[in-house]
Amino acid sequence: MKRTIMSLIGVAAALGAVTGVAAVAAPDAPRDSAAKGGTRLPVERSALLCPPPTSSEVGDTTYTAFTPKGTGGKAGAQGTAGLLPAQPGKQQDGKGKPPQDGKGKDAGQGAQADAQPVAPLKQPGTPVTATTDRADAPALVGAADGALAPGWTVQQTTSIAAGSGRGLLGLSCAAPDTDFWFPGVSTAKDRQDYVHLTNPDNTPAVVDLDLRGKDGPIQSASGENISVPPHATVPVLLSTLTGTPTQDAALHVTAREGRVGASVQAADAKLGGDWLSAAADPAPGLVLPGIPADATSVHLVAVAPGKSDADLKVQLATPNGLITPAGLETLHVKSGMTTTADLKDLTKGEAGSLVLTPADGSSAPVTAALRVTRGKGDKQEMAFIPATRPVGERATAADNRDKGSTLSLVAPEKGKDAKVTVTASAGSGGGTPVSKTYTVKGGSTLAVEPPRPQGLKGSYALTVTPEAGSGPVHAARTLALPQGGLPAFTVQTLPDDRGTVVVPTAGEDLSLLTK
């Protein structure tokens, strides 16, 4: 009898545990249901991946790492945060396994064990920098835990003085994932676009690369089943995936095994170079913030990855409200294909943001990116602005300079103003943190020179924190560092910095025993 009772108790406990897991992972639950029934807590561990910065002999790179103050972290755990070198993927052996160091470890793990961390943090609230001018600087694999994990952000900024891809290249190092979209890549003869795939884990990752063009999928057998060894990085030149040059394409990166960080480095013979970060996940509506006021050319590439065509209403959020660009009221994007629009100098001397919303009842998901150019003639420089998620709880820009930083805030919904607090934190060079609050009128873009720490010496970090209850806001930071007569610049979008996560409340449901 006791055995029967104990068995029933065990079954009830097991069913309760399963029910609790189902409540957490129910696929049909609305996104905000967890927030209503859960608790928002600081993350306890963060991972970031930085690709190799450049192969140029005349390039200089600065890494800036920062964790904002005030988020907390696991009680009593100060934590660590730093970046370690990854191995080049080309050092795989013929069987697709990473090289061994003679002690049973793969070479990537061995290199990390022997290396000193790059830009290690000691405390939240103070950015730390590291520099290199090496043409063979490796990719970096980073992790943060404890109090240094919530919102940990690393900016990689490279200045290249000459050659193809010269200019200013900026990138917020990416978190590992399994799915990425890069609208705006090119396999044309005047461009060299590399996708860098970096594996942070102890097991190999297997990745597929899928290119889409104006006529649909671009066939490429060589883009399938790409192996990325543990703790290693693999660069792939996109033009080697197809024999048909394509000017405006979209790249889909999918990890079928494991996870990777993915970023695209684009170098143009005439327009210089920059990093293209992954765009926000496909959705019926998009926001692309931070088009500079002096942009001389704005080029849009959109892709509809689903099974339905998408129709989008195109609007520019100016400082004075939403307007429709002349001659481009709507944009039709065919299923599985890319569509482009040359918006020329649509900002007309005022900073703006592109807002794409569903038209005529369309609900098909899309994603997009802008190629933005400043300057004229042989003094042109390009940067990319991918569609980005809203700021959410808080966003962080790690690398800002005494001159040349512009913060763009856009409240995309008319009638829904956004109120945000921007805090500037100085590095070890010195400076007192400063905060300033801005109100962004619904349907408009506000471009400001961000506050700078008092007594600033060196670079500084920014955090953007929306006020509870205000309208949604998207953000981007432009960093302009002219090189002679070249208007060198880069734009980083500022989605939520992943400082907190909702932990839903799970409970047992013993009613299943009576059904």
**Average pLDDT score over residue span 401-412:** 96
| % pLDDT > 70, the chain | 84
Asked if 405 and 453 count as a contact pair (C-beta separation under 8 A), the reply is: no
The 10 Å Cβ neighbour count of residue 299 is 19
pLDDT attached to residue 515? 58
d(CA 328, CA 314): 7
Name which of 412, 413, 472, 420 is nearest 450 in CA terms.
420
**Average pLDDT score over residue span 173-198:** 97
For residue range 264-296, what is the model confidence (pLDDT) as tens digits?
999 998 999 999 999 999 999 999 999 999 999
d(CA 325, CA 332): 15
Please provide the average confidence, as pLDDT, over all residues in the chain.
87
Q: How many CA atoms lie within 13 A of 297 on its CB side?
A: 15
Which residue type sits at 415? Answer: G
Name which of 286, 472, 476, 447 is nearest 384 in CA terms.
476
Asked if 290 and 478 count as a contact pair (C-beta separation under 8 A), the reply is: yes
**Average pLDDT score over residue span 355-367:** 94
Residue, of 315 and 348, whose pLDDT is higher: 315
Does this model's pTM top 0.85? My answer is yes
Asked if 276 and 181 count as a contact pair (C-beta separation under 8 A), the reply is: no
pLDDT attached to residue 114? 67
